[in-house]
Amino acid sequence: MKKDKLLSLLFAGALGLGLLWNLLAPDRAYSESENRYLASFPEVTADNVFSGRFTEGFGEYVSDQFPGREGWVALKTMTQLATLRPDNGRVYFGQNKRLFAVPDPEDTALMERNCRAVADFLTQVREAWPETRVSVLLAPTASTVLSEDLPLLAPVRDEEALMDRMRAVLGDIPFCNPTQALLSVPDREALYYRTDHHWTAYGALTACTAWLRELGLEPLDTTSLRIEAVSDNFYGTLYSKANLPWIPADSLTALQLPDDRPTTVSYSDSDKVLSGLYDSSYLEARDQYSYFLGGHHPPTIGETGAGTGRSLLVVKDSYAHSFVPFLTGYYDTITLLDPRYFREDLLSWMDGKGFTDVLVLYNVATFSSDKQLAAVLG
């Protein structure tokens, strides 16, 4: 009996010390390993308390700010692997040491709203600037292109159904679904990172070629392209959700532009200017994918010096970051806009900027769950 009481006291004391440590330790605003902002302590108001939002927010806060979070994630993952589970609730453990994102619960209404918002926005662009060339590209994820690497019977989203719905809603607006082009590549394993949800430079090149073909544009001269590994220790966001030490790093690959193409990148929220399309400082950081274009910003502007007289606006998620280097020979300026970081009326913001082309480029998973997109495009 005394032994049981002692164990209970020790357990309660450990929980109390853990909670105290969690409350006294300084909060982290951002997790480099997970490449996302962490939950902050919820505001204590009567409305939040009685509605249950405070309890929900506090749970997220404790989970995000728990000391040694990465180590606990690894322990949880290894425990679940030991019980032969195919996932840890956040990622699937696939074949060939490949990780896949567990999809968010499907929100059909949100997906439909985003499809309609894109179609309505591009229709308004055409009406306001009739000469503007508009198009949409939705990228499949590795779950579709490398489905043979998924765990047996792992539930995944029907991405082709969303593609078909997007095509139907767009009507005569050009739409590119690069799935078949990606599936036709002999070495499909090279199209997506194993530890990250993004496509590689090879995946982006394959999709870009399909998009150019859809628009009837001159294809890329692939004989002059040079794709090189810029890092051999890239661990992406999927790895951070599993923290399995035996999964090897990816090689981060990027298109190397000819030296005579004077491309620069600038940002609307910073005085920083990149000479070229890449920020090599991120190769020493945890978030190596931000090597492409310097990561997330409000409008990012690339000046290419191509001399084509054309200017492209890309409304996008981060799949565009490794895609746009293949377009530098087609446009004098390429402006990237992520709706998650933009709070203005988009059509009004576009007025007077002289865009000749507008591309909406998203991966299917982000497009299906983006709650900002319709508000910004509307």
- How does pLDDT run across 279-298, given as a tens digit for each residue? 999 999 889 999 999 998 88
pLDDT at residue 324, rounded to an integer:
96
State the pLDDT confidence band at 89, using cuts at 50, 70 and 90: confident
Q: Rounded mean pLDDT of 291-310?
A: 93
Is residue 98 in a domain?
no
Among positive and negative, which fits the CA dihedral 298, 303, 309, 312?
negative
pLDDT at residue 189, rounded to an integer:
97
Which residue among 67, 93, 115 closes a domain?
67
Place of tokens 């890329």: 220
State whether 258 and 160 are in the same domain.
yes
Domain that holds residue 21: 2-67
Side chain identity, residue 366: T
Alpha helix stretches (DSSP H) within the chain = 2-24, 46-51, 53-65, 69-82, 108-128, 142-145, 159-170, 179-183, 201-215, 237-240, 346-350, 364-369, 373-377
Query: 10 Å Cβ neighbour count for 191?
Result: 22
pLDDT at 327 over 80: yes
Q: Rounded mean pLDDT of 7-14?
A: 54
Question: What's this model's pTM, rounded to 2 decimal places?
Answer: 0.80
Report how far residue 157's alpha carbon sits from residue 160's, in angstroms, rounded to the nearest whole number.
Answer: 9
Beta-bridge partners for 87: 92
pLDDT at residue 303, rounded to an integer:
95
Task: Judge whether 328 and 358 are in contact, CB under 8 Å.
Answer: no
State whether 346 and 263 are in the same domain.
yes
State the pLDDT confidence band at 366, using cuts at 50, 70 and 90: very high
Contacts of residue 160, Cβ cutoff 8 Å, sequence gap at least 6: 144, 177, 179
State whether 41 and 126 are in the same domain.
no
The total of structural domains in the chain comes to 2
| Span of 5-14, 193-202, 313-322, 350-359 with lowest mean pLDDT | 5-14
State the pLDDT confidence band at 24, using cuts at 50, 70 and 90: low
Is residue 257 in a domain?
yes
Report how far residue 210's alpha carbon sits from residue 201's, in angstroms, rounded to the nearest whole number.
Answer: 14
pLDDT at residue 109, rounded to an integer:
96
Q: Rounded mean pLDDT of 300-319?
A: 96
Q: Rounded mean pLDDT of 174-194?
A: 98
State whether 346 and 225 are in the same domain.
yes
pLDDT at 75 over 90: no
State the pLDDT confidence band at 221, using cuts at 50, 70 and 90: confident
State the pLDDT confidence band at 94, using cuts at 50, 70 and 90: very high
Report how far residue 354's alpha carbon sits from residue 314's, in angstroms, rounded to the nearest whole number.
Answer: 14
State whether 215 and 271 are in the same domain.
yes
pLDDT at 260 over 80: no
pLDDT at residue 286, rounded to an integer:
87
Contacts of residue 238, Cβ cutoff 8 Å, sequence gap at least 6: 91, 99, 100, 101, 195, 196, 197
Within 166-292, strands assigned E span 175-176, 227-234, 250-255, 264-267, 270-275
State whether 193 and 326 are in the same domain.
yes
Q: Which phi-psi region, left, alpha or beta, contains residue 216 (left: φ > 0; alpha: ψ -120 to 50)?
A: left
Q: Rounded mean pLDDT of 173-177?
A: 98
pLDDT at residue 6, rounded to an integer:
57
State whether 274 and 187 are in the same domain.
yes
- Dump the DSSP string for 60-103: HHHHHH-TTHHHHHHHHHHHHHHTT-SB-SSEEE-GGG-EEEPP
Contacts of residue 277, Cβ cutoff 8 Å, sequence gap at least 6: 257, 263, 265, 292, 293, 302, 324, 325, 328
Which residue among 11, 42, 67 closes a domain?
67
Is residue 334 in a domain?
yes
Report how far residue 375's alpha carbon sits from residue 344's, in angstroms, rounded to the nearest whole number.
Answer: 10
Beta-bridge partners for 30: 37
Mean pLDDT rounded to a whole number for the chain: 86
State whether 153 and 296 are in the same domain.
yes
